[in-house]
Amino acid sequence: MLIVSLDYKIFFRNSAKRELNKLKDKRLIKLISQEIYQVIAKDPHCGDRKKGGLKDIYTRPIYYQKAQYRIAYTIHEDIVTVEIIQVGSRENFYKELTRKIP
């Protein structure tokens, strides 16, 4: 039996890159980066799939120093890619996310 482990490529929207770079805490940035490259890249379906207008979006929670952060992304199975749409604190996260989705 042959088992092939295929990591998905990670692509950041420019807005998601800016949001990640705005975070001041280097440990938080490292934690989010590890979640993206070590967890989501290996199994993107591990996130929570949203419903309604966000039905093609997955989110993954991050807990850091009693605060909640989220990573929002879409999966492009045909090109084996995960597109990171938004990274940020839980506060107003989904309101901002709905503005980014056509």
Task: Say what the pTM is.
Answer: 0.86
Residue 11 has pLDDT above 60, yes or no: yes
- CA–CA distance, 49 with 47 (Å, rounded to integer): 6
**Fold annotation for 9-100:** YaeB-like fold (3.30.2310)
Q: What is the mean pLDDT of residues 2-23?
A: 82
Residue of 76, 77, 39, 27 whose CA lies nearest to 85: 76
Task: Quick: pLDDT tens for 34-69.
Answer: 999 989 999 898 888 888 888 889 999 999 998 899
pLDDT for 60 equals 92
